[in-house]
Amino acid sequence: MEGAVENQSPSQRNYVLRALERFAEYGDREAIVGRGRRLTYADLAAGVLSVAAALRANGVRSGMAVGVLVAHPPEAPTLQLAMHLIGSRSVWIDPAALRREVDDYLRLVPPDVLIYDPSTHEEQAAQLGARLGVPLLCLGAGGQGPNLLTPQPDAPSIADLLGADEPQSVFQTSGTTGVPKSVHHRQALYRQLDVLAQELLDAGERNVHHLTQTPLWHPAGQISALLYLFSGGLLVIMEKFDVGEFCATIERERVSSVFISPPMLYQLLDHPALDGADLSSLNLLSVGSSAAAPDRLRQGVARFGPILRITYGLSECPFISALPGVGDEPEHPQRLRSCGKPYGDVRVEIRGETGSVLGTGQVGEVWVASRMNFAGYWGQPELTAETLVDGWLRTRDLGYVDADGYLHLVGRVQDTIITGPGSRCIYPRPIEDVLVTHPKVRAAAVIGVPDTELGEAVHAFVVPDPDATVTAGELTELVRQELTPVWVPHRIQFVDSLPLTGIGKVNTKALRARYAAEHGAAADPIGTSV
């Protein structure tokens, strides 16, 4: 590569240049499958340069903030790399968020232009563009702005396209609080992905066929997509999780790797389509985004073998720990409740309320140090200062490290339930795990609710098997026997399903809203509700 490209030092060099070098090596190998389209690495590389030229032709410059409203188009990785090649800051918008949440987020990171997928977000983009008062650009034909996928005549050279500013990304997240957070990642995250990709290649993990349902506006979806593209794999994109189509896609594309959330795993295990499915190509089934019940993991191992891998990460640090080969160590059943050991360069400490490091087995907040830690919350300096302390990330997750170095999570700081006359702290995860051990229970989620006598009471939402005869009394007695009376749910509410977020997590914010709408401020005695 010529000119300005060659003159960049390794510490300044835009990571997209290295990605393009890798794509050139992979050539005509298939890179992305989605929406009936199949893109080779040559297509991907050419697309990055063409979209970068289209961005420049439509006024997007180095250092500008570019709002992106898409879900799963196969051109999303192309767009990401093109934006970063020219040095712009990608601002990823959650399409499923409430209007108020999107507006609050974009007040923190106001975009100079909005790019959207006209096949899925036409009306939403038109309204958002009008509120923002910014130009609209389209990732595809038929929209209200220029189509960035139109081939560009006389495309500039890479050196001419390369922006002077560092490529950066901002992601929208609100967790369970509803307060928007603007997760800002600098180029270090993407450079580290290149390191991890090389480790995969060195380990012989070549030409991995990875199936993703995680939307590419979320760090988890984007990071896994780029990791497998950097290592020369095939990225298979599924726009909506459907067990039948999921199984058919694995069989058709000979998928070897998938990432799903625990609720998706439960749906897969419970679906009749699984019995006739050929999933023999799978050799890695990663489960993450939230805690998985040990009993359901055992079912997964019984069905698929020891190919399950538990993963733990956050938008602020996508890779924290992993437990590969779940079920390979039957002499250590307690490890099914863990999320493994720290991954790569990650260091983990468990700290108390004063910030002091706690000992083995003591529950406290999980703190993380890694090169993949985010740079801060864009436009939120106070929140950044509270979360990034001396190079350490406060995850707001509660957990402990056992004597063998395995990390165990018990809940979120804000999900801690303080209950009873002694103000005892208890956590949702152990209760959920016990509830799911009942053979007639498919899934469970626990929240704390206001109670005039206890302060907070345990409220459990339980998804039973269809036509199951399980009762609230059976389940409360099960918790009483496995834990202690203080952990027993004050009320068990039977539901058909648990609401999920856009990336497949149980939406506890929606459960709290449901409880408030149905029950008001005070908790009722033990009972059932459908």
The verdict on 324 and 288 lying in the same domain is: yes
Extract the tokens encoding 225. Answer: 């997509």
* Rounded (10°) angle between helices 15-26 and 76-85: 130
- Give the residue, 411 or 112, on which the prediction is more confident: 112
The verdict on 16 and 128 lying in the same domain is: yes
CA distances from 206 to 199, 225, 230 (A): 10, 15, 11
Q: Supply the DSSP string of 373-434, one letter for each residue.
A: ---EETT-HHHHHHHEETTEEEEEEEEEE-TTS-EEEEEEGGG-EEETTTTEEE-HHHHHHH
Nearest Cα residue to 68 out of 222, 180, 210: 222
How far apart are the two ends of the chain, measured CA to CA in Å?
64
Nearest Cα residue to 261 out of 303, 296, 209: 296
- Position 127 scores a pLDDT of 92
Residue 429 amino acid letter: R
Weakest mean pLDDT among 108-112, 307-311, 447-451: 447-451
- Could you tell me if residue 230 is inside a domain? no
509 band by pLDDT with thresholds 50, 70 and 90: confident
- Position 502 scores a pLDDT of 66
Which CATH number characterizes residue 52's domain? 3.40.50.980
513 band by pLDDT with thresholds 50, 70 and 90: confident
The total of other beta-carbon atoms located within 10 Å of residue 302's CB is 10
Weakest mean pLDDT among 61-70, 110-119, 173-182, 222-231: 173-182
**Which SS3 state, helix, strand or coil, does residue 108 take?**
helix
Angstrom distance (rounded) from CA 241 to CA 238: 7
Angstrom distance (rounded) from CA 181 to CA 170: 10
Nearest Cα residue to 136 out of 121, 150, 155: 121
The verdict on 251 and 365 lying in the same domain is: yes
CA atoms within 13 A on the CB side of 429: 22
- Position 26 scores a pLDDT of 95
Number of H-type helices and E-type strands within the chain: 16, 26
* Mean pLDDT confidence for 164-188: 85
- Kindly tell me if the per-residue pLDDT of 7 is higher than 70: no
The verdict on 155 and 262 lying in the same domain is: no
* Mean pLDDT confidence for 384-407: 93
517 band by pLDDT with thresholds 50, 70 and 90: confident
Write the secondary structure of 218-279 as one string of H (helix), E (strand) and C (coil).
CHHHHHHHHHHHHCCCEEEECCCCCHHHHHHHHHHHCCCEEEECHHHHHHHHHCHHHCCCCC
- Position 420 scores a pLDDT of 66
Angstrom distance (rounded) from CA 400 to CA 434: 19
Angstrom distance (rounded) from CA 112 to CA 105: 14
Which CATH number characterizes residue 290's domain? 3.40.50.12780
- Could you tell me if residue 347 is inside a domain? yes
What is the overall mean pLDDT for the chain? 87
- Give the residue, 15 or 455, on which the prediction is more confident: 15
**Chain-centre distance for alpha carbon 335:** 22
Angstrom distance (rounded) from CA 277 to CA 271: 11
- Kindly tell me if the per-residue pLDDT of 260 is higher than 50: yes
- Position 210 scores a pLDDT of 95
DSSP 441: E
The total of other beta-carbon atoms located within 10 Å of residue 111's CB is 24
The verdict on 181 and 33 lying in the same domain is: yes
- Position 239 scores a pLDDT of 87
Sheet-wide strand order for 65-69 = 136-138, 113-116, 65-69, 89-92, 168-173, 181-185, 376-377
- Kindly tell me if the per-residue pLDDT of 370 is higher than 60: yes
- Position 522 scores a pLDDT of 40
Among residues 371, 387, 412, which one ends one of the domains? 412
Weakest mean pLDDT among 102-116, 123-137, 272-286, 503-517: 503-517
DSSP 29: S
The verdict on 367 and 453 lying in the same domain is: no
Angstrom distance (rounded) from CA 55 to CA 159: 15
Query: By percentage, how much of the chain surpasses pLDDT 70?
Result: 92
The verdict on 492 and 381 lying in the same domain is: no
- Decide if 288 contacts 318 (C-beta within 8 A): no
- Decide if 439 contacts 451 (C-beta within 8 A): no
- Kindly tell me if the per-residue pLDDT of 60 is higher than 90: yes
- Could you tell me if residue 231 is inside a domain? no
Structurally, how many domains does the chain consist of?
Answer: 3
Among residues 384, 412, 440, which one ends one of the domains? 412
Among residues 412, 439, 465, which one ends one of the domains? 412
The verdict on 247 and 335 lying in the same domain is: yes
- Kindly tell me if the per-residue pLDDT of 383 is higher than 70: yes
Which CATH number characterizes residue 509's domain? 3.30.300.30
The total of other beta-carbon atoms located within 10 Å of residue 39's CB is 19
Angstrom distance (rounded) from CA 530 to CA 525: 16
The verdict on 187 and 266 lying in the same domain is: no
Angstrom distance (rounded) from CA 203 to CA 321: 19
pLDDT digit string, tens, across residues 319-361:
999 998 887 767 777 888 888 999 888 999 999 988 899 999 9
The verdict on 327 and 302 lying in the same domain is: yes
Beta bridge partners of 393: 368, 388
Those residues with Cβ within 8 angstroms of residue 158's Cβ, 6 or more apart along the chain or in another chain: 1, 2, 5, 17, 20, 49, 85
Angstrom distance (rounded) from CA 241 to CA 267: 10
- Decide if 41 contacts 28 (C-beta within 8 A): yes
pLDDT digit string, tens, across residues 267-302:
899 888 888 899 999 999 999 877 777 888 888 998
- Position 520 scores a pLDDT of 59
- Kindly tell me if the per-residue pLDDT of 177 is higher than 60: no
- Position 257 scores a pLDDT of 94
Angstrom distance (rounded) from CA 477 to CA 473: 6
Q: What's the domain range around 461?
A: 416-519
The verdict on 405 and 437 lying in the same domain is: no
